[in-house]
Amino acid sequence: MAKKKVFILLPDGGGLRNFAFSSFKAIGDTLGYDIFYWNNSAFPIKKTLGFSEIKIENHSIHPLTPLYSRARKHIELNISKRKFNDSVYETYKFPLNFKGIKNKLKSIFILFLIRFYTSEKKLKMLRNRIENLERKNPKYSLCKLQLEAHKPDVVFCSNQRNTQAISALLAARDLGIKTICFVQSWDNVPKAMQVVETDYYLVWSDLMKQELLKYYPFINEKQVFVTGTPQFEMHYDTNLFQTRESFFKTYHLDIEKKYICFSGDDETTSPLDQYYLEDLVQAVRSLNSKGKNLGIIYRKCPFDISNRYDKTLYENKDVIKVLDPLWVQIDNKGDMMATPQDFDMLYNICEHSEFVTNVCSSTVFDFVAHKKSCIYYNYEQPQLKKGIRDIGQNYNYVHFRSMPSKDAVIFCTDKKELEQLVLKVLEGKVSNVNMVLKWFEIVAGNTPTKSSHNIWNAISYVLN
């Protein structure tokens, strides 16, 4: 009997970490599947990893698709706001751009679409309109030819949020090929980040399944599988472990110091993030003056290309050690992509840091896998002014309502309390590890080491 052929569609580089650099491919091989990476990203999978690869060379989308997709997001958020009587959905919207005649015309067109397709019934018409636009896109024809030539039994898409995937998945559906999509992140569903439609959906947890059915009533319960996410499996792979001596030598850390990790945020989430790093520096300096020997590991957000931290990093080189994520941009264009080497680095940063601090980052779950606490900054900076986003709204987001209690994270609500809070965590007097483990189970399920297996089980079910 011929092997079942599985296409893993990578609309961008975001799925590499979960589905190319992990054990995912090896598990599929063991199960006897013929696996091809249907690669729309710039990462050279065959050349670098030696996996079977079919490149999607055409990266075009219909010129109107981004405008219709932007309108779709706004309409979905408006419907959620009305349906659930909750103003939080307004905070998920990005303002339209009216600078310059071209941007102004685009924004006016988007506003027209929002007004015209305002109901759930008309929203369905808009979704159909997007699909019809993409069927006219030359990329659709290319993808259809590739599918006809290779005849996969199923197409598994690594994420649901990239418009680059629409035409490829449409081509598969139109040819009668089963399609499955993985919902990429814990906050994606309430934020209206579903831009593709497939036959089946894989989600992290029962909570995410409930959300998917709640926000997208056209999806049937039988179409949704709870699998967990491969995102955190690396933290349970002890082969990645380096001794403290080895890790510190590799990255030129001071073996005598205890390090606190400051995990940077993107500029949208935390526009004044550099000042929270400054606050941590001040707390560490004060504690060092009292006999402690502390340092800070600064790991930036891989997508942050700003220079806003530079001054703080330069002036505090004696305290801060910069360990940039080992992500790359192929040919200086396109998405930033994780590398397999970053698994090792992140694992050992978590393992050898005392705890992590940041603004509402999911790294809280990376660190809790290593039984380490997290401090979330939750106070305004004096530099906050009109036009700068207050980080406080982040903690009102729907995905933070999944916390089992307010103690799930150690919130620092006043800069003056930071030093003592740091000290208490260092001394073991304050910890949120047990509560975060409960939160992690709510968000990501109770089988964090078996997510890749669970995904293959779901694919097998769909195929058989």
Q: Of the candidates 88, 107, 129, which is a domain's last residue?
A: 129
Identity (one letter) of the amino acid at 92?
Answer: Y
Distance CA 60, CA 309 (A): 35
Query: What number is the average pLDDT over the span 243-262?
Result: 97
Whether residue 241 sits in one domain with residue 94: no
Residue 37 pLDDT level (bands cut at 50, 70, 90): very high
How far is residue 261 from each of residues 71, 97, 110, 296, 351, measured CA to CA in Å? 39, 36, 42, 6, 11
pLDDT tens by residue, 104-158: 999 999 999 999 999 999 999 999 999 999 999 999 999 999 999 999 999 999 9
Whether residue 146 sits in one domain with residue 48: yes
Distance CA 357, CA 359 (A): 7
Q: Of the candidates 82, 113, 129, which is a domain's last residue?
A: 129
Query: What number is the average pLDDT over the span 152-174?
Result: 97
Please, which contacts does 446-449 make with residues 24 or more away whose CB atoms are closer than 8 Å?
447/228, 448/228, 448/232, 448/233, 448/236, 448/369, 449/233, 449/236
Whether residue 309 sits in one domain with residue 406: yes
Contacts of 150 (CB under 8 A, 6+ apart): 5, 7, 36, 54
Whether residue 431 sits in one domain with residue 320: yes
Six-digit token string for 302? 């891989």
Identity (one letter) of the amino acid at 96?
Answer: L
Whether residue 306 sits in one domain with residue 276: yes
Least confident of 74-83, 85-94, 358-367, 379-388: 379-388
Six-digit token string for 232? 């955190």
Query: What number is the average pLDDT over the span 227-246?
Result: 96
Residue 331 pLDDT level (bands cut at 50, 70, 90): low
Residues of the domain holding 77:
65-129
Contacts of 176 (CB under 8 A, 6+ apart): none
Check: CB of residue 33 under 8 Å from CB of residue 4.
yes
| Residue from 315, 336, 340 nearest 24 by CA | 340
DSSP H/E element including 224: strand 224-226
Whether residue 192 sits in one domain with residue 125: no
Whether residue 457 sits in one domain with residue 343: no
pLDDT tens by residue, 124-136: 999 999 999 999 9
Please, which contacts does 145-151 make with residues 24 or more away whose CB atoms are closer than 8 Å?
146/38, 146/54, 146/56, 147/7, 147/171, 147/172, 147/175, 147/177, 148/175, 150/5, 150/7, 150/36, 150/54, 151/5
pTM value > 0.85: yes
| Residue from 303, 299, 285 nearest 253 by CA | 299
Six-digit token string for 455? 């995904």
The count of C-alpha atoms lying within 13 angstroms of the C-alpha of 277, restricted to the half-sphere facing its C-beta, is: 30
Six-digit token string for 194? 């579903």
pLDDT at position 332: 64
Whether residue 109 sits in one domain with residue 160: no
Q: Of the candidates 110, 129, 148, which is a domain's last residue?
A: 129
Collapsing DSSP to helix, strand or coil, 85 comes out as coil
Q: Is the dihedral of CA 408, 414, 415, 418 positive or negative?
A: negative
Can you state the angle between helices 120-135 and 166-174, rounded to 10 degrees?
90
| Residue from 201, 202, 204, 149 nearest 171 by CA | 149
DSSP H/E element including 375: strand 374-377
Query: What number is the average pLDDT over the span 157-180?
Result: 97
Residue 391 pLDDT level (bands cut at 50, 70, 90): confident
Strand partners, 9: 38, 157
Six-digit token string for 71? 């309108």
pLDDT at position 208: 97
- Quickly list DSSP for 320-352: EEE----EEEGGG-S-EEE-HHHHHHHHHHHHH
pLDDT at position 385: 77
Residue 330 pLDDT level (bands cut at 50, 70, 90): confident
pLDDT tens by residue, 289-299: 999 999 999 99
Report phi then psi at 2, rounded to 5: -70, 145
Distance CA 108, CA 346 (A): 44
Query: What total number of domains does the chain contain?
Result: 3
Whether residue 242 sits in one domain with residue 141: no
Whether residue 148 sits in one domain with residue 24: yes
Q: How many CB atoms lie within 10 A of CB 221?
A: 9
CATH of residue 198's domain is 3.40.50.2000
pLDDT at position 215: 97
pLDDT at position 407: 79
How far from the centroid of its chain's Cα atoms is residue 253's Cα?
A: 29
Q: Is the per-residue pLDDT at 429 higher than 90?
A: yes
- Quickly list DSSP for 344-356: HHHHHHHHHEEEE
- Quickly list DSSP for 25-47: HHHHHHTT-EEEEEE-SSS-HHH
Using the 8-state DSSP alphabet, how is residue 212 labeled? H
Six-digit token string for 120? 């759930």
Distance CA 211, CA 202 (A): 12
Query: What number is the average pLDDT over the span 83-88?
Result: 96
Whether residue 161 sits in one domain with residue 117: no
| Residue from 190, 173, 71 nearest 126 by CA | 71
DSSP H/E element including 180: strand 178-182
Whether residue 206 sits in one domain with residue 222: yes
